[in-house]
Each structure stands twice: as C-alpha cells, then as structure tokens.
Amino acid sequence: MLYHYYMKITVKLLLAAFLTAGFIPGALAQVTVVKTDGQKIYLDTTELNRNVSVGDTFKIITGQEKLTNPKTGKDLGFLYHYSPEGKIIEVQPMYAVGQLPQKGDYAVGQEAVINTPAQTATVSLQTTTSGETAGTEPQKALVSNRKIKTYPVIAREVISAVKADLNALPGQEIAVADTKGNLVLYTEENNALRQIAEYKLSGGKQFLSLSAADVTGQGKAQLFAAVYSSKDSRISTLIFDVTDNEFKEINSIPYFAKELGCGNDKKIYVQKPFTSGVKAGDIRELSYKNGRFSAGKKVTSSRGNWLTGLNYFPVENNNNFIYTTSNGRLRLRLDNGKYVDSPALFATAPNRVKYKQEIISFYPSVQAYDSNGRAVLAAVQNEAEFGILSESFGSYKSGKIHFLTYENGVLDVRETVDLNGFLYDTNCTDLGILAPQVVSGGQTVLTEIYR
C-alpha cells in the first residue's frame, strides 16, 4: 500500500512510473491562440473554468507524436512538444496576452497550455432565494493536506468503482465497471490488485454507475449496476451477489440506482427514468422484502436530475437535498425554502448516452458525509480536452475534487485536490472517497482520498 501526504493543491500520484511523459498535467489549462504579434500571443480564455492571472506561465503546443509499443501495438498516448515558456502579462474578460522570451513561428489556431501555480484560490459564492442573488462573498479555498492512497494502475477505462464487503470473505473487495461493458472484482494482496471475478454485459449495453450496500441484511453488500441499453433505449439496474468468486445476477429493476451517503448512513436510492422527455423521476429508497427488491415511497422530487449528480447533505440536523444545476453550480435546498449556490464548476460530465434524438448528461458525483459534526461535500469537476465537449466518452483530460462546507449561509470551497485524470463517477468508502482517475491511454488509477 502506498500512502502519501500532500501539502500542495496539485496532487501528483506517482503516475510517472506508469504513464507516458507526454501526458499533459492536470494543472494545465488548454486554450487557443487567436492572434500573434511578435513575442506577444493572444489567447482565448472563454472556455476555461478557472481564472487566469498576470504572472501565470504558458507554452504553445508545437506538435505531438503518437507513442506505440512496437511489440504489442499498444497505444501509449501522445508525446507533446512545446515552445519556450512565456508569461501572461495582461488579462481581459475574454482573452489573455502572453509574452514569449523570443519570437517564433506560431500561428492562429494553435493550442497552448496555461499553468496556474498551485496557490490559495479566491472563489465567488452566491446565496440565493427563489432564484434571486442575495449577494456575493469572496472566500478562500485552502490547500489540501488530506491523506491519499493510490492503488496499482488498472488497464481499463473505469466508469465507476466501489469498495465493500462483497464476497463474504475477510476484508473488502473492489468492483469496477469499464467503458467496454466489463464488471471486474479485485482483491488487494501484497500491494497488488488480483482479479477474482468478471462479468460481461451483452451487446448494446453500457454501465452508467456502480453502488454497493447490504440491502438484504445478510452481512455482505450487494452490487447495484445502473445500465443503459442502446437497443431499446432503456435504463435499468442489475443486482449482483458475489458467491465463490463469481458474479451472480440475482435481480434487475426498471430504475436507475445510486448509493447516497457514506458509512453507516449509506443507502441505495432509485428513480424511474424518462418520466418526462429524458428527465429522471422522483427519488425513492430501495427496499427489500420477501426476497424482492422494489422502490419504496417517494422521498423527494429530483427536479429532473439524475442520482449521479446529487446527494443528501446534512445541515442543521436535517438531510437537505443538493444537486448539480445545468449552469454548473451545486444548489443546496434548505428547509426554509431558500437555496445556496456554489461556484459554477461542476456541470462538465463525460458520462453521456444517446436516448432517441437527445443526449442524457450524468453529472459527476457529489459525495456527502459528516466529519466530526461538520457536513462536508466532495464534488467532481472535470476539464474538457481542447475546450470541446463531446456526446460520448473520452473528451476530458483532467479532473479535480473540491471539498465544500456550508457555514453561515455560504457554501464554501475549502480544499481542492487536483488530479491527473478525469472522473466519470465516485463512491464513498469507510475511510474516504474512491475516485477512479482515467489517465492517458485509457488506463485508470484508483485513488482513495481520506475524509
């Protein structure tokens, strides 16, 4: 097991041993050159979801080459070539001006990367009532010193992963679902992950999310896999039991399922898909009785949101509903009818499927837990590659997890862990947040960020 302590906002997870040297680091924000004037370079910053400041450094991408293992033919990603490093000397609302140390042969349309130093950031937070802005208050996001564990690299592009007692054996196992429809179970032995079971979806189906909890009361967790079938445009959840190192499908329900909460508070919730257009239905708690899984009574309205991008957030002794809005803000609904918004960081989800003529977006996960009596959110932000959003997988290059708290009417970003890969989904473990980072070459680094 590898344990690391980080005092910087950017987390480098010992990926150098596994990844190509040409992988663009997560701390770099990609932009487009829109004008050149000698040593001055004008950069379009409208696609960025972070601030650019005078003094930031930048490089122009001058070329790239594909790396392939000549023996195996395996794609190892790209090696990028850069100009000499320049500095940002002017920042305007929609563009920034950088200056290179010397004039070069650069052209409009080339891509560049801006490196924002890892430092204390300032964000603007809004408290609103009935959709009206009540004012903004700048807060400071602190550097993260959370303990982090990384697992060996998995040669799969993992959509979702859970860690739970799934096999009725001592210890916990890790189950992952990948983009090719594979469900794989690992056990951790001698600092390595050993595969002990595998299940393959039939054609035309893909995984959306994994969850695990002991719903039956049998002393081990059941595995809940939300699945989309493109053949009949259906979303359902397959329920698995693991016995003798084998996945056994014990049931399926015509609902989308996702675990909410952490530790002993974790429960499985479901919602009816496609109740209105491509929107999801009301939230219900999954129940188990007389050997059957079913949806219980309505818990609350989802307001059309899918369970991936929402959670229950304990505030003032009440479980309040929090969800990702289409403009990228986390919105906390309070019992008094008011709501509180976060910065607009979160509505960038790589996990999307086509339903009829529409695109269904599953926003990155929001985990909620209570740390020493103080409620904390762990929410995913992904950064698009080349500033372009795609209708399918693979259009993201990096991600981060923001830790937020609610205090004195403000939803405050307190810490940010910057990752080398992007995230489709996260889940809670007994100790923290399990984040499967998809990195260069379609590999995944499982990361557990302790609460």
Same domain, 141 and 59: no
Residues 167 and 256 in one domain: yes
Cα separation of 179 and 174, whole Å? Answer: 17
pLDDT at 20: 33
Q: Please tell me the distance from the alpha carbon of residue 413 to that of residue 322, in angstroms, as a whole number.
A: 15
Cβ count within 10 A of residue 223: 25
pLDDT tens for residues 19-78? 333 333 334 567 899 999 999 999 988 766 567 778 888 999 998 888 888 877 777 767
268 and 405 inside one domain? yes
Span 345-402, pLDDT tens digits: 887 766 788 888 788 888 888 999 876 667 899 999 987 765 444 444 446 778 899 9
Cβ atoms of 426 and 446 closer than 8 Å: no
CA-CA distance, 255 to 268, in Å (whole number)?
11
* DSSP conformational letter for 449: E
DSSP string for residues in 136-188:
EEEEEEBPP--EEEEPPPBSS-EEEEEEE--SSSSS-EEEEEETTSEEEEEEE
236 touches 202 (CB < 8 A): no
Question: Which range has the top average pLDDT, 181-190, 353-362, 405-414?
Answer: 181-190
Task: Give the model confidence (pLDDT) of 141-178 as tens digits.
Answer: 455 678 889 898 999 999 999 999 998 777 899 999 99
- Integer Cα distance of 355 and 235 in angstroms: 10
Q: Pick from 117, 137, 169: which residue ends a domain?
A: 117
pLDDT value of position 211: 97
pLDDT number for residue 35: 94
Tens digits of per-residue pLDDT, 197-256?
A: 999 999 889 999 999 999 998 889 999 999 999 888 899 999 999 988 899 999 999 999
| Residues 86 and 149 placed together within one structural domain of the fold | no
Residue for token pair 């932009």: 31
Partners of 289 in the beta sheet? 292
Same domain, 230 and 342: yes
For residues 90-103, average pLDDT = 87
Q: What range does the domain containing 91 cover?
A: 28-117
Cβ atoms of 256 and 226 closer than 8 Å? yes
Select, from the ranges 107-111, 315-319, 406-410, the one with the highest average predicted confidence (pLDDT). Answer: 107-111
Same domain membership, residue 45 and residue 192: no
- Report which DSSP code applies to 17: G
In the chain, the number of structural domains is 2
Band (pLDDT 50/70/90 cuts) for residue 301 is confident
Query: Taking CA 261 as the corner, what is the angle to CA 314 and CA 298, rounded to the nearest 5 degrees?
Result: 85
Which of residues 85, 117, 149 is at a domain's end? 117
